[in-house]
Each structure stands twice: as structure tokens, then as C-alpha cells.
Amino acid sequence: MNSSEEIAVSGMSAGRSAMRMGPAELVQAAAMARRFYLEGKSKIQIAEEFGVSRFKVARVLETALERDLVRIEIRVPAELDAERSDALRARYGLRHAVVVESPPESEETPDPENLGEVAADLLGELVNEGDVLGLAWGRSTIHMAAALDRLPPCTVVQLTGVYDAGTAERGSVEAVRRAAQVSGGDAHPIYAPMLLPDAATAAALRNQTGIARAFEYFDKVTVACVSIGSWEPGISTVHDMLSEEERAHYASLGVAAEMSAHLFDAEGRRVGRDLGERCITVKADQLRRIPEVVAIAGGQRKASAIDAVLRSGLVTSLVTDTSAADYLMTAGPAPRPALNRADPDGH
């Protein structure tokens, strides 16, 4: 045994309480603990080796913990906050919640890049061979795609148009291509703006061959990755694409958050549904049917928007940071568990 072992088994040097055990008991307990915690042997195997009952082994292991003969340390990487992650998962009824340390206050920005790196690792766990992975537009999903280094073979489809068609190669399209390259699967990008001037133009684009082919995969998506925006300049893509008059209109409806061109009020109810007719994006009902929807969003400026979207029931998992998590843990009454995927509007 060496200092790198996570289970520390101390023998005769144990604390005062452990010394109440005789030396033979100490030696035996240390040996049993080593077999169980470090070598992975079962209680039955240990009982057979020492010629005692498995109940005796269970009592010895319990006593070893109580008397500090065995110390168990649970370690996660320093950037992950396991306690906040578990509390956030329980509060919102999420399948997975991963909270990472926020950057220093002076560097506080929405969706710090390390969120994308952690989300890339999470997708490596969640995506299985043969899945269809959907990626929506967002800076955090672009960071996530850039950080990907492993994915099982899967199809990758773009779930929304892009913020600016002129930057498509450096945004969502490149993210889809990158994910498909890592997985070795097919890529289905969308070369179109997210927001169009009117519903007729949007409908015409949806019927174009390449875009229509991507849309055919929306009902097959098994894992989706989305971003969340607050309804303010620079933090919501849709907000920035609208005119001042349109922004004022949707603000009057109580919009508090945006995700994939869908707008939500503070309670998670969808508002401004007419906007969707002008957008190239996956429908909210389609998102609700996707088994795993991972949102990547953090920062104090996005905290209330994250709360609103989580209350919608569209998201099953979240990657966020400590500054947003601290707000979320005290944000109004406890929401309904997200995994029931119910529509807050009753639709």
C-alpha cells in the first residue's frame, strides 16, 4: 500500500478509540479492510479466507469505519463542485447536473469556456453508438464541440439555423462537423439563418433539400445539446437579431429567457410563440420528446434565465457554474421535477 491509495488503512497507529481493539483484532480488521476496499473482494470471499462468517466480516468492516481504522475519501477534480451538483440535480429533478467553479469575479462572463470542456466530457458519457446527437446554436455548444475528443459512432444534426449566415463556418456548422468528425458519423448541418424576416421565407427555406433533410432527423434525436440566453443584449442571440420594436413587444409578454429561439417567462411558460414561425429551429414539442437534453449555461447574468428554462421541463441535464448554481438553489419555490417533461402551459 502507498500514499496514493484513496482508502487509508492505519494499523497500530490508529487513534485512541481504535486502540480499544486488541492487536490481533487490529491486524485482522486492517487485513479485511484492505481486501474489501482496495482489492475489491466480496464479504463472502473474505469470510472464506479468514474462516469466519460473512456477518462477522460485515461487523469488522463497520467497526473499522466507526473507529477511524479506515478512512474513505471521495475525490473529484478540483474544478467540479460535487455538493452543489447533487443539490441542484435534486432541486430541479434533473437527470444530471454538473457544477464547475466560476472564474474569478473580474473574469465573470456568461458561459465561461470551461463549461464547454466539461460538457464535452459529459456527452462522451451520455452518447451511445447509433444515437442521433443534436446541436443547437450557442457559444457554449461551439466551445463544447471544440473540446470534444471522444464520441461513439453517431449521427450529428444541427437543430437551429445560425446567428449570422456569414459566420456559419465558424459557428454551428463547424460544431456539427467537428462532432461528426470525432464520432466518425454523418453530419447534417443547416446553412441558413436562425431568424427570417417573415414566416413565408422561413417556410420556403425549410423546404430546401439540405435543410429538409436535417429536419427529418429532429424526431430521431436521442441526445441534444442546447444553450440558454437571458433577454438582454449580448446574451440572447434572438434578442440581438430583432428590431427594437420587436424586442419591446416580446418584453411586454414577460419573456425572461430564450432557448433555441423559443421564449419563456419566469415560470417556464412559453410566450411569443409566433416568433417560431419565422425561425429555423427544432420545435419545443420535439425537444420535449428527446430523451436527453443537456443545457450548457452559466454566469450570474444568465442565472434567472436558466431557472426559467429549467422550469419549462424541456431540459433533463445541466452543466453550469457555481455563481449560477448559488442563485438557482434559492430561486423561488421548488419547481416541478424536470423529468416528468410536462408542459407548464398544459399543452
Tell me what pLDDT residue 79 has.
Answer: 76
Delimit the domains of the chain by residue range.
23-67, 80-330
Please say whether the beta carbons of 220 and 188 come within 8 A.
no
Q: Domain 23-67 has what CATH class?
A: mainly alpha
User: Per-residue pLDDT tens for 162-196?
Assistant: 875 444 445 678 899 999 999 999 999 998 888 89
User: Lowest mean pLDDT: which of 85-89, 171-175, 189-193, 299-303?
Assistant: 171-175
Tell me what pLDDT residue 74 has.
Answer: 62
pLDDT at 19 over 60: no
pLDDT band at 106 (very low <50, low <70, confident <90, very high): very low
pLDDT at 284 over 90: yes
User: Lowest mean pLDDT: which of 16-20, 172-176, 179-183, 282-286?
Assistant: 16-20
328 φ/ψ sector (left φ>0, alpha ψ -120 to 50, else beta): alpha
pTM of the model: 0.75
Tell me what pLDDT residue 73 has.
Answer: 66
pLDDT at 292 over 90: yes
The answer to whether domain 80-330 has CATH 3.40.50.1820 is no
Tell me what pLDDT residue 308 has.
Answer: 95
Q: Which of 297, 240, 249 is nearest to 273 (CA)?
A: 249
Cα 104 to chain center, whole Å? 22
Q: Which of 214, 209, 208 is nearest to 190 (CA)?
A: 214
CB burial string 34-43: b at 16+ within 10 A, e below? bbbbeeebeb
Tell me what pLDDT residue 105 has.
Answer: 62
Percent of the chain with pLDDT over 90: 54
Q: Which of 303, 279, 79 is nearest to 194 (CA)?
A: 279
CA distance linking residue 44 with residue 58, whole number of Å? 10
- The average pLDDT across 23-37 equals 85
Percent of the chain with pLDDT over 70: 83
Tell me what pLDDT residue 170 has.
Answer: 52
Q: What are the helix (H) ranges across 242-283?
A: 244-252
User: Per-residue pLDDT tens for 34-71?
Assistant: 899 888 899 999 999 989 999 999 999 988 888 888 87
User: Per-residue pLDDT tens for 187-243?
Assistant: 999 988 888 989 999 999 999 998 999 999 999 999 999 999 888 877 777 888 888
